[in-house]
Amino acid sequence: METVSMLLSLLFVSGALADCPKKADLYITTPQEIEALSGSCLMIPCKFSSLNTKTENTFSSTRTTFGVWMKSNFNFLQQQRSNVIYNISETVNKYQINITGNLSQKNCTTLFSRVNATYTDKYYFRIENGPFRATAECDPLQINVKDSLSPRIKISKVNLKEKESVTISCSAFTPCPHSPPKLTWSLQQDPHNNREENTDGTFTTQIQETITLSDKRDGYNISCSATYPVNEGRDVRTAETQETL
């Protein structure tokens, strides 16, 4: 059984804002870089904002809003749109993408389906909302597609002593919340998997166990495996991490 819990959300300003060479009309808040697993989906948490103060050219939630994703560069010229991989106003698109967020509420959360190695690149988001048309050119999103995603083992204490209790956790990034990994390890059979939402809107799956140290566990090797369903559940990919007490 899986438990979903939400961690404390933090309010933060778009990371690239301070480094932008010019004032942009549109900014998005997403992870600046995100990992994806080949054959799985990728959920991108996304919110957008506009600093444009011109009354005639501001975003309006009452107008129809179209979202656009571009790959490699942010040029949106009529005669040169080979970089446009998804436009919500089009019936046919290059990539299987679905903007699941409510654009009228400035939520541009997006789901990429069945990503592969060719998806590794920078991506730019654009909004078309009546006279307000802008690209978040200062906020590129870097997607890195991996063949496997290794779990991480964390031990609560550094200097371990006999008869002390120590909490050991194993976590794995969960790029596709609809198909989370199954975590297993040598400490316990069929451990309870928890899925947590991170402060940036991404997800992590975690298992945890508290043990008491003894001579028998000195030098004990802990192994944790993360098994991800891929290709719409037809296959799986497994990666393992080991740590010694």
pLDDT tens per residue, range 63-114? 999 999 999 998 887 666 789 999 999 989 999 999 999 999 999 999 999 9
The answer on 176 and 135 residing in a single domain is no
- Is the pLDDT at 13 greater than 50? The verdict is no
Half-sphere exposure of 168 (CA within 13 A, CB side): 24
> What pLDDT is stored for residue 11 in this prediction?
34
The answer on 157 and 122 residing in a single domain is no
- Is the pLDDT at 60 greater than 60? The verdict is yes
Q: How confident is the model at residue 56 (pLDDT cuts 50, 70, 90)?
A: low
> What pLDDT is stored for residue 12 in this prediction?
38
The answer on 32 and 109 residing in a single domain is yes
- 224-240: average pLDDT: 96
| Residue 6: inside a domain | no
Q: How confident is the model at residue 52 (pLDDT cuts 50, 70, 90)?
A: low
Model confidence pLDDT, tens digit, residues 133-162: 999 999 999 999 999 999 999 998 777 677
For residue 58, give the nearest of 137, 131, 136 by alpha carbon. Answer: 131
> What pLDDT is stored for residue 9 in this prediction?
34
Range of the domain at 137: 17-146
Average pLDDT along the chain = 87
- Buried residues in 205-232 as b, exposed as e (16+ CB within 10 A): bbbbeebebeeeeeeeebebbbbbbbee
Under 8 Å CB-to-CB from 88, ≥6 apart: which residues?
66, 67, 68, 99, 103
- Buried residues in 165-201 as b, exposed as e (16+ CB within 10 A): ebebbbbbbbbbeebbbbbbbebeeebebbbbbbeeb
The answer on 172 and 137 residing in a single domain is no
> What pLDDT is stored for residue 157 in this prediction?
74
- Is the pLDDT at 225 greater than 50? The verdict is yes
The total number of structural domains that make up the chain: 2
> What pLDDT is stored for residue 220 in this prediction?
74
The answer on 109 and 166 residing in a single domain is no
Final residue of a structural domain among 131, 146, 161: 146
Q: How confident is the model at residue 165 (pLDDT cuts 50, 70, 90)?
A: confident
The answer on 134 and 56 residing in a single domain is yes
List 172's β-bridge partners, or say none.
Answer: 205
The answer on 139 and 109 residing in a single domain is yes
> What pLDDT is stored for residue 16 in this prediction?
45
% helix / strand / coil in the chain, to the nearest 5? 5, 45, 50
CATH of the domain at 38: 2.60.40.10
Final residue of a structural domain among 109, 129, 146: 146
| Residue 170: inside a domain | yes
- Is the pLDDT at 51 greater than 50? The verdict is yes
- The alpha carbon of residue 153 and the mean position of all alpha carbons in its chain are separated, in whole angstroms, by 20
Model confidence pLDDT, tens digit, residues 195-221: 999 999 999 999 999 888 775 656 678
The answer on 93 and 172 residing in a single domain is no
The answer on 157 and 142 residing in a single domain is no
> What pLDDT is stored for residue 23 in this prediction?
74
Tell me the pTM: 0.85
